[in-house]
Amino acid sequence: MEDILAITFLFGGGALFLISISPVGRAIADRIRQRGSAVAGDEVTRLREGQLAVFEEVERLREEVAELHEQVDFAERMLARDRDERLLPGGEDGTQGS
């Protein structure tokens, strides 16, 4: 029984090796590679789409931060103006300068 098993592995392995180096084996290998590259291509496309979505989100957030910065600047100017008016003679607190 062991002899038959050894002969089967020997001839089967040799046959697989010869098929793998033949044009048929190369065609099968090329087809497997193309299928793998198609899957990899789909994965790359999906990753690029995700990357673009992240870039768009970051750009939107930058615009929002810029708007908030402008609003804070405006609020600071209003507070500073109110403070300056109170400190100046004839301001809202009713005091007159000397």
- For residue 98, what pLDDT is reported? 45
- For residue 44, what pLDDT is reported? 82
What Rg do the C-alpha atoms of the chain give, in angstroms?
A: 39
Please tell me the pTM assigned to this model.
0.46
29, 20 Cβ separation under 8 angstroms: yes
- For residue 41, what pLDDT is reported? 73
- For residue 18, what pLDDT is reported? 79
pLDDT in tens, the chain (98 residues): 778 888 887 888 888 787 888 888 888 888 888 776 666 677 888 889 999 999 999 999 999 999 999 999 999 999 988 887 777 776 555 555 44
For residue 98, give the 3-state DSSP assignment: coil
Q: How far is CA 35 from CA 13, 38, 42, in A?
A: 25, 5, 11
- For residue 64, what pLDDT is reported? 97
- Sketch the domain layout of the chain as residue ranges: 2-87
- For residue 92, what pLDDT is reported? 58
